[in-house]
Amino acid sequence: MDSGDRNRVRLGGDDDDTLARAARLLQQHGFVVERGDSAALAAETGRRRAAEAAFRLNEERLDALLALSERHHASVEELAQFAIDKGVRLTRSTIGYLHFVNDAQDGFLHYFWSRGSRETCAAVELMDYTVCTAGIWADALRLRRPVVHNDYPNEPTRRGLPEGHHPLSRHMSIPVLRDDKVVAICGVANKPAPYDAADLRQLRLLANRLWSIVESQRTTAALEAANAELSRVAGIDALTGVANRRALETFLERQWKIAAREGWPISLLMLDIDCFKAFNDTYGHQAGDAALKAVGAAASEVARRPNDLVARYGGEEFLVVLTRAQEDDAMAIACGLVERVRALGLVHGGSACAPVVTVSIGAASHVPQPDGPADWPALVAAADAALYAAKQGGRNRACAASSRAAA
């Protein structure tokens, strides 16, 4: 464009005096002034304003999608509420809804309403709709495609509205599909102008983005639950339901470091069922399994604090970890456990020490040092040695590692 084009101005309008004054002023500043056609100028102005409005709306729509994506950690309820409120605003509607669908069972799982719907609708009773009983607002669900009713009062298939419902002039709804199943429907209503393809695209983008986030959350939650269950199962003895050897070692390693840092003691109780081979030989392995479960349960009832642990150490042996427990405390718990198992009254005709199932327990305690090794295996060995002393002392009793005196 040359300098002549840059200094050329076209004026248009019906007020000749005003145009003349404007022309003189522009000419004084070196502009070449031309009179233009008023209708053409008005049309050009209208097109420019429409383009600017469309640009602003597109920016608003992109911002809404970005804002929804940034809320991916919010609850499903918060996400749905945000999405439907934005859908209403961006389509220039006044009311809207978003319903999750159980396509397989012909029903709805969750109902979400826009803020405008909740504030102005007097129909307070929520009906439990199905695909068959719902009105034309659910056409998108039945037809599995977007549906627009730009002349709602004259729709021949409409069934009327519940008492207190908003009057409807226009309505648009879209389905959200996954694997050819409708998982949600989203609708808006009462836009001043007819709904168009841009409105449909906006509502579909919002609803589908919402569902992608919901799916991602559900997948993450399911994976976390599966991992937690896998960890739980991997750390539990299948027969007795207490921790297994692997979980025990991990727990001891962690608790030893904590105890070394905090300066508190750890005590171990090594427990063995007396004459267990004779019990199995006399009553069979099923009865033996039942006895193991009963003893494990009794130990779990004794070691109930959050940082205590009962584990099956191997065969008929159990190890009880007692955090923040001195040897005296551990011995008191051990003696109580001996009594508790005896009180179960599990008949044991093959025992050399009692007519019922009994246990022998060895107790050992230690205060780990911050600069010392994580030598929990040595504490296990000390408890095992105390257990041997309890057996040598006649079984059906507890013995402390420090004194090797049976109780």
Active-site choice (70, 249, 316, 327): 316
Query: Which of 72, 136, 130 shows the shortest CA–CA distance to 101?
Result: 130
Report the chain's C-alpha Rg in angstroms: 39
Q: Which two tokens stand for residue 190?
A: 């009462």
Cα(401)–Cα(407) distance, integer angstroms: 12
Residue 316 a catalytic site member: yes
Cα(322)–Cα(350) distance, integer angstroms: 32
Query: Which of 251, 219, 240, 388 shows the shortest CA–CA distance to 315?
Result: 240
Cα(253)–Cα(379) distance, integer angstroms: 12
Q: What residue type is 21 in one-letter code?
A: R
Phi-psi label, residue 287: left if phi above 0, alpha if psi -120 to 50, beta otherwise: alpha
DSSP-based three-state secondary structure for 241:
coil
Start-to-end Cα distance in the chain: 107
User: Annotated catalytic sites, by residue?
Assistant: 316
